[in-house]
Copies of this chain bind each other. A is one copy, B any other.
Amino acid sequence: MTGVSTQTGGRVRRPSHGPGSLLEVAVREFLTRGYDATSMEDLSRAAGITKSSFYHHFSGKEALLRAALERALDGLFAVLEEEGSRSGTPLQRLQHIVRGQVAVLVAELPYVTVLLRVRGNTESERWALERRREFDARVAAIVQEAVDAGELRNEVEPAVAARLLSGLVNSVVEWVRPDRGPDHLPELVARAAFEGILPAAHDR
């Protein structure tokens, strides 16, 4: 545990030290230790490089957090720009968005997990919370459209439904494994959202 090359403890698979792999290492440390408890010292050690090399790529811990949050949010907002989220009936668009959200969540699991643990203690965290609210508001607006169009039962309260939907979708990060392909999961979560997690047999 004395040389730089052995200090990584097997956590860095590729010996590349570009900004991408440093971000990957940093996110892993944030998730293990908690963001507040992680120092640049910890991050350099985990990456197997000197602190000054680390600072060459990122100005500090918050810049890494910001990059991680941007990656998660860019993925989620990209779903809203997809053709399937912009055309079709409101219900079809919602179905597309839920599937897309789950797919991003699986593909960008550590980044989305960092995003969902954010509590607003730093400027980047408050920015991310604001962006999350914006995402949820856009979904809530489409839920409202679907209710107005008569596609959803009219006892659905759009603001509450959007929150429950976001809660259902985001809870997947708590148990999904990174190696589980997204093939089955987006459909499964979408069915849970639109037909119930525990749909009674007599509904059929």
Contact = CB atoms under 8 A, between A and B. Distances in A.
Contacts of A201: 150-154
A93 B33 CA distance: 39
A199 B192 CA distance: 10
A154 B200 CA distance: 9
Interface residues of A, number: 43
Contacts of A198: 91, 94, 143, 146, 152, 156, 161, 165, 193-194
A194 B200 contact: yes
A168 B166 CA distance: 9
Chain A interface SS verdict (over half): helix
A160 B166 CA distance: 17
Contacts of A189: 164
Nearest to A159: B175
A164 B192 contact: yes
Interface in A58-76: none
A197 interface: yes
A14 interface: no
Interface string A29-61: 000001011000000000000000000000000
Interface in A117-156: 119, 121, 143, 146, 150-154, 156
